Amino acid sequence: MAIRRILIANRGEIAARVIRTCRALNIETVLAASEADRDSVPARLADRTVCIGPARSSESYLKVETIVQAALGTRSDAIHPGYGFLSERAALARMCESQDVIFIGPTAEQIEAVGDKLRARAAAEAANVPVVPGGAVESIAAAVLEGRRIGAPLLVKAVGGGGGRGMKLVERLEDLPAAVELASAEAGAAFGDARVYLERYISSGRHVEVQVLGDGQGTVVHLGERDCSVQRRYQKLIEETPAPGLTDALRRALHEAATRFAARLSYRGAGTVEFLVDRQTGAFYFLEMNARIQVEHPVTEAVTGIDLVAEQIAIANGSGLRRELANIARTGCAIECRVNAEDPANDFRPSPGVVREVVWPTGEGIRVDTHIQPGSRVPPFYDSLMAKIVAHGADRAAALARLQHAIGATRLHGVASNLSFHAAALADAEFQAGGVDTGFVARLLAERPLMEVATHG
């Protein structure tokens, strides 16, 4: 079966990104857009746009039946879910399976296996991939016992959570019973799943993740790692590859662990295995697997020359892993900044509105993934990502210099942006040295509490 027409069930820069690859592959695109995105850049780029509902995502982008109906009604062969929205909803993959629409992603079963954090932990252990010491707790008494075994400080996490949601830090063991009770109640309300588990808290950790591609038959290749330690409240802001300062042995161990984990699931498509690397001990632990294309995939594309969306489509098409993927060379270094419509001077408050004027950077080694042009609107209903500015260079210093220049050359008026944050972060001595931990942004902001926003207005 050949995919000739793809319905894109997403919006923003990733919709534009997927359309670009489809064009290169001569595949027609149908964009499923909400009323608020009907005049967006992706809507203009797509061969056809269908309006799936009102602006609010719960009435449009999150409606499984509507998305599948839109694919059937437009005679699309496949659905690309992008990231976020329905990308990791097993229900969409399952409905696609039953309606003979190709879901460009893993199987419903695989989505479920990695979406349940406890099952994912068990799968990691079974694949001989280290997990953070801890485990499920079914009662307060069990939590106290487990807490004593792990030792403080520790984290209470929601089984249905992820990406920092539903997490509580416990500094002293006597606070554990109350924290477990609260976390469980909150998780029940937020995720419809009250189960929680405990994990040792790593005080200085780096977020390092490995990109994998699987053919669904048990063969998995990795495309190197990405360091995403520059985060604010678990939201990644700057990502780079390779992760600076890792020993070759540690780097190889991470790649192998990720490959082992995905192979054990016979994982199909593109996925990312996230690890926490303890900066003090050099030990690493499995965090979770993301069963979708990641926001930060372009840094991997920059150093490998591989088009990850094209590989996703090829795998979904049943072509498996291309032979070239068996021996991927990675050259140089790539760093990405996420340009968000949020105001660093106001606690990074989202700043929706109309972009009056914008000039994105160009130049050697610069790539900008965006859906924003002069006159584009940033609606208040969705995430605030406007663009990803990616710089590639022969080494980290070269990539960093290009990125700094690119950030400085970007002009954006009409909405506030976090460009000033990026300029400050890239110029910071600790970041320039490389290998910062996930506490970096908090330290940076504490030093410079009121960041000037030269780009405002």
Partner 1 sequence: MSLTAADVAEIMKVLEGSGFDEVLLEIDGLKLSMRRGGAGAADGSGGVATLSAAAGTNAAPTSLGTGTSPAPNVRGTGSTAQPTSGGQQSAAAAAALAPAADPAEGPSKTTASTDPTVQDVTSPLLGTCYRAPKPGAPPFVEVGTLVNEDTVVAIVEVMKLMNTVRAGVKGTVTEILMRDGALVEYGEALLRIKKAG
Contact footprint for partner 1 (CB under 8 A): 35-36, 38-39, 50-60, 65-66, 68-70, 73-74, 95, 350, 352, 377, 379-381
User: No. of H helices and E strands in the chain?
Assistant: 15, 23
User: Min. distance of Cβ 54 from partner 1 in angstroms?
Assistant: 6
User: Min. distance of Cβ 69 from partner 1 in angstroms?
Assistant: 5
In Å, how far from its chain's centre is CA 312?
16
Of residues 3 and 70, the one with the C-beta less far from partner 1: 70
User: Min. distance of Cβ 117 from partner 1 in angstroms?
Assistant: 25
Handedness of CA 375, 381, 382, 385 (dihedral sign): positive
State the Cα–Cα distance between residues 435 and 445, nearest whole angstrom: 18
**Tokens found for residue 109:** 């079963």
Cα dist from 408 to 348, 359, 411, 447, whole Å:
20, 11, 8, 21
Cβ neighbors of 148 (< 8 A, separation 6 or more) are 173
Cite the beta strand spans of 252-305 per DSSP E. Answer: 268-278, 284-290
Per DSSP, the three-state class of 437 is: coil
Structural contact between residues 410 and 339, judged by C-beta atoms closer than 8 angstroms: yes
φ, ψ of residue 243 to 5 degrees: the values are -65, 125
Of residues 78 and 132, the one with the C-beta less far from partner 1: 78
The identity of residue 309, as a single letter, is: V
Angle at 279 between CA 274 and CA 285, to 5 degrees: 35
User: Min. distance of Cβ 417 from partner 1 in angstroms?
Assistant: 18
The identity of residue 184, as a single letter, is: S
Annotated active-site residue 292? The verdict is: yes
User: Min. distance of Cβ 414 from partner 1 in angstroms?
Assistant: 13
Of residues 304 and 351, the one with the C-beta less far from partner 1: 351
Of residues 29 and 312, the one with the C-beta less far from partner 1: 29
Of residues 76 and 417, the one with the C-beta less far from partner 1: 76
Catalytic residue among 17, 268, 292, 402: 292
Angle at 328 between CA 327 and CA 330, to 5 degrees: 145
State the Cα–Cα distance between residues 176 and 299, nearest whole angstrom: 40
User: Min. distance of Cβ 382 from partner 1 in angstroms?
Assistant: 9
Of residues 165 and 377, the one with the C-beta less far from partner 1: 377
Which residues are the active-site residues?
292
